Structure 1
């Protein structure tokens, strides 16, 4: 129990969000819209979502070109496996899972691929914030009475500072790699135990190599543009699923919902973003005049439609022995002290052993 405290903390946070999401609703309030929904609208929604995943795979291929050119066709299954890992394991373990699988299949250093994955997430966060700030007038309705936990305006401002700050750091590190490496070495020597110095320095060098694609403004703009396309396609899925239910809001409202929901899912929660996805989604819709029971039914179906297809696809692709071994390793190490460092070091040790064979 003590060892898995992070998992149980996530479950507790999910329960709090679910409490606010479902407060004042009876089972019949949600069941009625579920009974009458036109579920065939999910089919084009799922199709568009898989196109968005393919664009994600292209973006990852684009980011990794300076490290190693790998086709989008090769990247797509690994991206799907990563989604599956994020959906069924806590703490977004799927991101580490896809980095390790890419190492095994394409011999790309784990630290370099993790750098590109972090860059992806930073650009995703910036786009999500753009979606939110495009709809600033609508934020006035996002109060606790609509079911949202906390102050969305403050969350958006703090999120803007965090993501834009991270983006500035990565761009600076990409443009001035030698100086960035010196700064990191200075920090490592003062913070990290001496026995890890050499290994952390090796990780740092490869990590900075993964930022190479940001050295050109044109490259950075291409990554940003691709990120916008990805999230607009995902919003199109929200739009298709909306047509399965008897309500209609503007596409901009769905962009706001998409932005807030995905920012909220950065909060630790139970696997699958239970609660942290649902509460803000319901809140956005109720603040825009949708009955709470109907909003809850729509958000539930949308959540399932986002979770099940990509999780099933991710489970279909890998060799079972490979995925089981890696997933068990990541799940076992995730709760240990110094979990991220130890996981990366283990992957690097494995890389060293493979070289020696």
Structure 2
């Protein structure tokens, strides 16, 4: 029998009954229903006023040969993202691109399958298990990565807006995210530069907890701040922003190639706006993979560029499918190679505890 985990042995945890109980417990969580509601709302807005026959005609008439180079561009963009993560990790644990690339793809795969961006947690966990990096420190580097991502996407929107007209919804999304990510950058920087004050503040927040738990919370916060060390180096930050920009431009080029399969032409700057808007929209409430907000934002941008709603809807569905399915397959293959099955990774006792707090 496997070692007991939380009173249930490993074999029992993998049984269909135990998984069913776990799924039911998961569905009782409020954030799951908020995500489902968000997806339903945005899919409703997405299909509203769409001629379904026109949609299916566009889906069937597309030239999917363009999907091959398009998907290849995404995996090339993942290489640039791995380079960026390596730069951010350098003050904590210098790791090679060869080490980081599969872990990053696994994280994206998990984000596509699981709610609450649990892929970030899995990335940190695998990094700790395979390379001895502190797991909470690794989460700190992911936080820096997310902030640089947000600022880069807003920057792409700004550049694209110089060449193509943006709708009011896209402009509002850009301004809201600019404030969010600039605020996040300032908070993380302040926590790093004023570390002792940040630890005292966390101690005050944790005061209602029993002393042992309070010490753990403050210790975890201290380790998380340790993962922010890259913010001290202008060189690392500039390098991370440049690598992130290369990644998103490559992804925008992917969107352009998929568009060619649907007979869509237009200013390449349009696809910079699309990359920014669609990927900022996935922060809105939804189920895993940003299903709903991504399609809706993509449709908004393309309709604003004088694409018919039916073709814009077909393009959005095909594009998102190409962003999700190949990454899920590659991520599962990489995860299998690590000998850490998805369920076992999430159900390890220490991961499950953090997972439940992370997901709310």
**TM-score bucket (shorter structure):** 0.7 to 0.9
2:121–2:355 CA contact under 8 A, matched in 1: no
1:175–1:214 CA contact under 8 A, matched in 2: no
Q: Give the corresponding residue for 1:352.
A: none
Q: Give the corresponding residue for 1:324.
A: 343
* 1:281–1:138 Cα change, 3 Å: farther
Q: Give the corresponding residue for 1:247.
A: 264
Q: Give the corresponding residue for 2:78.
A: 53
Cα displacement (A) at 1:37: 1.2
Cα displacement (A) at 1:69: 1.5
> C-alpha deviations, 1:45-88, integer Å up to 9, x for none?
11111011111112112211211111110111111111111001
Q: Give the corresponding residue for 1:108.
A: 133
Q: Give the corresponding residue for 1:214.
A: 231
- 1:66 correspondence with 2:91: yes
Q: Give the corresponding residue for 2:182.
A: 164
- 1:285 correspondence with 2:302: yes
Q: Give the corresponding residue for 1:226.
A: 243
1:91–1:268 CA contact under 8 A, matched in 2: no
What secondary structure does 1:277 align onto? Answer: helix
Q: Give the corresponding residue for 1:174.
A: 192
Distance 1:208 1:332 in 2: 22
Distance 1:55 1:188 in 2: 38
> C-alpha deviations, 1:122-177, integer Å up to 9, x for none?
1101111112233447897625xxxxxxx443332222111001112223333443
Number of equivalent positions: 332
Q: Give the corresponding residue for 1:34.
A: 59
What secondary structure does 1:318 align onto? Answer: helix
What secondary structure does 1:134 align onto? Answer: helix
User: Which deviates more from structure 2 when the two are superposed, residues 102-111 or residues 155-164?
Assistant: 155-164
Distance 2:37 2:291 in 1: 11
* 1:6–1:104 Cα change, 3 Å: same
> C-alpha deviations, 1:104-134, integer Å up to 9, x for none?
1111111100000011011101111112233
- 1:127 correspondence with 2:146: no
Cα displacement (A) at 1:27: 2.4
CA RMSD of aligned residues (A): 2.4
What secondary structure does 1:28 align onto? Answer: helix
- 1:118 correspondence with 2:136: no
What secondary structure does 2:284 align onto? Answer: coil
Give ranges in structure 2 of 5+ residues lacking alignment: 1-23
> C-alpha deviations, 1:316-345, integer Å up to 9, x for none?
012355432113459965885xx1299xxx
2:118–2:359 CA contact under 8 A, matched in 1: no
Q: Give the corresponding residue for 1:155.
A: 173
- 1:8 correspondence with 2:33: yes
1:116–1:211 CA contact under 8 A, matched in 2: yes
Q: Give the corresponding residue for 1:351.
A: none
User: Which deviates more from structure 2 when the two are superposed, residues 216-225 or residues 232-241?
Assistant: 216-225
Matches within 5 A, 1:345-356: none
Give ranges in structure 1 of 5+ residues lacking alignment: 144-150, 343-357
1:82–1:95 CA contact under 8 A, matched in 2: yes
* 1:194–1:152 Cα change, 3 Å: farther
Distance 1:252 1:127 in 2: 15
- 1:300 correspondence with 2:300: no
* 1:132–1:192 Cα change, 3 Å: farther
